[in-house]
Amino acid sequence: MEISSAPQSLKIVPPDKTKCIWMEAGVVSYKLCYNNYDCPTCDYDHAMQHKVEQQRETASLQPVSIETGKEKFSATWVEKMMLLSADRRKCRYMLTGEVNRKICPNAYQCGNCSFDQMMQERLQAETLPAGELAESAGFKVVPDFYYHEGHAWARPEYGGRIRIGLDDFAQKLLGRLSGLRLPQIGEVINQGQNAFFLTRNGEMVSALSPVGGVVTHINQALLDQPELINQSPYEEGWLIIVEPTKLKKDLKSLYFGEGTLKLMAEEKDRLLEKAYSEMHISADGGQSVEDIAAQFKGERWSKIVRFFLRS
């Protein structure tokens, strides 16, 4: 099969972005990856594969040139990748930096790859380091995480899956929990849905999911030790992992970077105002959230938590 090279592009890949696998293979001149190289769940990959197959069927399996905008190609990224030299056929875990060196021997059919399955199980079971923390109004945040207004965070990880937990504001407001209930593996949850149920002193509140998807993992250790949410909200205290269904759309409505820092500062002011109006606690900007939250009991506790978790 004669394979024509894609036109050279003058566009530059930003330092914080990665090339789509179609671009890595040289099939298209410019396309960035927004799905952490999880091609089986990528709408762009599905559409491109479908176009190739449609044209092949029309031409009775003869190689043809397919138009995609101004670009022409006659093979899938898988076929073109397998024509490259071994040093250019990097495993997707090498592309994402999870392994130092691994050449793909399986035509990028990750779903049939034993190494890929081993990596999925190992990496998803691990508690991942959160990285460098930032602080705003006394609350710790991870700049690379996405945050929902209901104080749950979302972290894109291996294979395009998303790890979810509660942020530092939430754990300080909740205080020491006596129990929690998580969705079941295989359950479908939606962005903004009551997905996590938290109990303290006989009162139950809920927290919203920051993204929609199918639950693939739950933090079993957390069920026995709910205090992990307080001790390590961004690492040991994670809640669940999901296979996202509308990730690009969901991420657009979340806070990130400077937006997160601003949200935390605004929430601290709102909490002080709420504490003063409902319990006549002095609105002292120097007070910690733990000090304020400790004074809320019973229904007052659940009311204030529901207000800030938007549930």
pLDDT in tens, the chain (311 residues): 343 444 444 578 887 778 888 888 777 889 888 777 777 667 788 788 777 777 667 655 554 444 444 445 567 777 777 787 777 788 877 877 778 888 887 766 676 778 877 776 666 666 778 888 999 998 999 999 999 999 999 998 866 789 999 999 999 999 999 999 999 988 999 999 999 999 998 899 999 999 999 998 899 899 999 999 999 999 999 999 998 988 989 999 999 999 999 999 999 989 888 777 766 555 555 556 665 666 777 888 899 899 999 99
Whether 234 and 132 map to the same domain: the answer is yes
Supply the pLDDT for residue 74: 60
Whether residue 280 is found in the same domain as residue 306:
yes
pLDDT the model gives residue 197? 97
Tell me how far apart the alpha carbons of residues 123 and 125 are, in angstroms, rounded to a whole number.
Answer: 5
Specify whether 212 is located in the same domain as 112: no
Which residue, of 80, 97, 125, is where some domain finishes?
125
| Whole-number Å distance between alpha carbons of 199 and 250 | 27
Indicate whether 4 belongs to any domain: no
pLDDT at residue 15, as a whole number? 76
* Count of structural domains, the chain: 2
Q: What stretches of the chain adopt beta strand conformation (E)?
A: 18-19, 32-33, 66-68, 71-73, 134-136, 139-141, 146-147, 152-156, 162-166, 179-181, 188-189, 194-200, 203-208, 213-218, 240-244, 255-256
pLDDT on residue 291:
57
**Residue 19: what pLDDT?**
85
Q: Is residue 65 part of a domain?
A: yes
Same structural domain for residues 238 and 291?
A: yes
Tell me how long the chain is. Answer: 311
The parent domain of residue 105 ranges over: 18-125
From first CA to last CA, the distance across the chain in angstroms is 58
Q: Is residue 13 part of a domain?
A: no
CB 27 within 8 A of CB 6: yes
Residue 123: predicted pLDDT: 61
Domain end point (choices 125, 143, 161): 125
Same domain, 152 and 275: yes
**One domain, residues 147 and 190:** yes
